[in-house]
């Protein structure tokens, strides 16, 4: 529902970024806010929001690639994506991901990240990114490998 409200890509990315920022700073909030937000926090997680976002894009890696190149969305989406990918190497984040996200969506995310990594890697030679995308490619490859290991164990 939330992503149907926003027709603009920048707005959708802002929602992702803001929710992610809330998740990472929740512990620093005043007690009054913490108590209130802790009541609603179990209702939705960052993984729910991200999975719905990816689903709204039909898990299309080319749209993510456009977000990473576009001058309108690049900075905010790159920041969000790098932080989200970094989370996979935190044990509790990864465990929550594996519990919160349905198996078929994990497979779609795995495939999407793999395609995105391959596409960015092949685009590096054309110098189309307004930044050095090599660290992003490496992080995507590491997350793809982590998900591959987990999916093949199940």
For the whole prediction, is pTM greater than 0.75?
A: yes
Any domain includes 61:
yes
Any domain includes 2:
no
pLDDT of residue 7: 56
pLDDT along the chain (154 residues), means of 10: 54 72 68 70 78 92 94 89 94 91 96 97 90 96 96 80
Any domain includes 3:
no
| Residue 24, number of CB atoms within 10 A of its CB | 12
Helix, strand, coil share (%) of the chain residues, nearest 5: 80, 0, 20
> Domain total for the chain?
1
Any domain includes 4:
no
Contacts 24+ apart (CB under 8 A), 65-70: 65/116, 65/119, 65/120, 65/123, 67/9, 67/13, 68/120, 68/129, 68/133, 68/136, 69/128, 69/129, 69/130, 70/9
Any domain includes 1:
no
Any domain includes 51:
yes
What is the spatial distance between Cα 48 and Cα 143, in angstroms, rounded to a whole number? Answer: 18
Any domain includes 93:
yes
- What residues make up the domain containing 49? 9-152
Any domain includes 62:
yes
pLDDT of residue 1: 44
What is the spatial distance between Cα 9 and Cα 33, in angstroms, rounded to a whole number? Answer: 29
């Amino acid at each position: 529902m939330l992503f149907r409200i926003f027709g603009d890509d920048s707005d959708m990315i802002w929602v992702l970024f803001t929710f992610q920022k809330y998740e990472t700073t929740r512990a620093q909030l005043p007690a009054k806010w913490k108590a209130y937000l802790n009541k609603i926090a179990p209702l939705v997680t960052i993984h729910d929001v991200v999975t719905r976002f990816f689903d709204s894009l039909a898990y299309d890696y080319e749209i993510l690639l456009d977000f990473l190149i576009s001058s309108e969305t690049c900075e905010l989406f790159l920041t969000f994506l790098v932080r989200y990918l970094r989370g996979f190497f935190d044990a509790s984040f990864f465990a929550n991901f594996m519990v919160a996200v349905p198996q078929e969506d994990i497979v779609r995310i795995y495939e999407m990240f793999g395609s995105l990594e391959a596409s960015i890697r092949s685009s590096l030679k054309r110098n189309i990114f307004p930044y050095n995308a090599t660290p992003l490619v490496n992080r995507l490859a590491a997350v793809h490998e982590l998900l591959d290991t987990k999916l093949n164990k199940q």
